[in-house]
Structure 1
Amino acid sequence: MSTKAEKTKEFIIKTSAPIFSKQGYVGTSMSDITNATGLTKGALYGNFKNKEEIALAAFNYNTTKLLNKIDERLNIEGTSLDKIYNLTSFYRQYAVFTLDMGGCPIINVGVDAEYNNKTLSSAAKEIVRTIEGKIAAVLETGVNNNELKLPVTPLQFAKQLYTMLQGSVAMATITQDRKYLLNTVNYINHLIEKEVKL
């Protein structure tokens, strides 16, 4: 059973997560958080040391949801190919999934924090490495089970695959045109079918 303090902390994190994602670290003030939560600054500082601590907790909240979804997609029964296709299928609806988060937390926070906050920037880079590692593990299993052939190492291929997905997410976000994402997913699936599948 969560204590009142734990529930308050969780409420602050959940409420501030989309605000930080949309407005960025510098663009989000403590007043924005008090307005959204209805809590006083004293209540915020009673639960967190500073704005950076709230921002990091908010980022972790969003990316934990994302990592759980990626795990769910990659841990299905079936071949490595089934798992990769299940992941690319998820990215077709990525904008819907990340809507409540304030958009893609990795792109939003990663780009914003690069020049504004080293702690958040490091956290974003770590999430990228984690996701690439998860994809690489599936690809490596596929190679070992003679399901896939890769022109490079599984990790290098995973990095390229994830770059294409995230790049198309960025373009779809910038242009507000989902075709960037949908066409890229179709291309990735075609590439895997023609070049990678054994």
Structure 2
Amino acid sequence: MGKGQDTKEHIIRQSAGLFNTKGYGGTSLSEIMERANIRKGGIYNHFESKDEIALGAFDFMFAQLKNVLTEAMSEWSEPTEKILAICDVYINLIEQNICEGGCPILNTAVENDDGHPLLKQKAQSAMNELMTGLGEIIKDGIKRQQFRSDIDVEAASSVIIALIEGGVMLSKLYNDNKYIRHCANQVKVYIHGDMAV
């Protein structure tokens, strides 16, 4: 990797937490420059615009989240345990700040639902990936006869994601971890109740 690519990645890494915490509109170029310890010209040597940095920063944060999710799920073979491992990751997202600013999908979706179309597209794509992955876990649970065969996989995935992301949003809003814990418990109730054979 060349020096230019190193610098580009350094700018993305340093700005990712800013964008995920303050949003696209709340993050200024001067803050990026200060955090990355680089001059304006140095930034424009590598990026055409703040948009380009923001898109790279989202990709970086989402990759970080995916790595943590993959690692957490790799410890389990049972579908139920994998889903509960996802819940634990989101609890840690709040309690241990494993991704600075919280869930990048939630933050980007909320800020850009009517705003920045490219960031909205990134958030949709990331959420699709998350929902598809969760859907595969649910299908595996159906195949193993742990979940009901008549489950609407897309509906079940969206309920689980909505509970988890809703818990993250409430915990961030009220600065209180109890909400993500309440919602994670409801995921458990949903799995053992509505989804179970």
Structure 1 segments unaligned to the other structure (5+ residues): none
Give 2:48's aligned residue: 49
Alignment RMSD (CA, Å): 1.7
Deviation at 1:100, TM superposition (A): 4.5
Deviation at 1:114, TM superposition (A): 2.3
Give 1:168's aligned residue: 167
Q: Distance in 2 between matches of 1:153 and 1:172?
A: 29
Give 2:24's aligned residue: 25
Q: Deviations over 1:9-28 (max 9, x none)?
A: 11100100011112211221
Q: Deviations over 1:99-157 (max 9, x none)?
A: 55222211222211223311011101111111011000000011012111166311220
The answer on whether the counterparts of 2:151 and 2:195 sit within 8 Å (CA) in structure 1 is no
Give 2:5's aligned residue: 6
The answer on whether the counterparts of 1:80 and 1:138 sit within 8 Å (CA) in structure 2 is yes
Give 2:147's aligned residue: 148
1:72-111 residue pairs with structure 2 within 5 A?
72-96=71-95, 98-111=97-110
Q: Distance in 1 between matches of 2:150 and 2:161?
A: 16
Higher mean displacement: 188-197 or 60-69: 188-197
Give 1:118's aligned residue: 117
| Structure 1 residues 151 and 188, CA gap change in structure 2 (3 angstroms) | farther
Aligned length: 197
Q: Distance in 2 between matches of 1:100 and 1:143?
A: 32
Deviation at 1:88, TM superposition (A): 1.9
The answer on whether the counterparts of 2:163 and 2:186 sit within 8 Å (CA) in structure 1 is no
The answer on whether the counterparts of 2:64 and 2:99 sit within 8 Å (CA) in structure 1 is no
Give 1:61's aligned residue: 60
| Structure 1 residues 165 and 41, CA gap change in structure 2 (3 angstroms) | same
Q: Give TM-score, length-normalised by structure 1.
A: 0.92
Deviation at 1:92, TM superposition (A): 2.2
Deviation at 1:96, TM superposition (A): 3.9
SS at match of 2:45: helix
Q: Give TM-score, length-normalised by structure 2.
A: 0.92
The answer on whether the counterparts of 2:171 and 2:180 sit within 8 Å (CA) in structure 1 is yes
Higher mean displacement: 20-29 or 143-152: 143-152
Aligned sequence identity (%)? 25
Higher mean displacement: 121-130 or 63-72: 63-72
Deviation at 1:174, TM superposition (A): 0.4
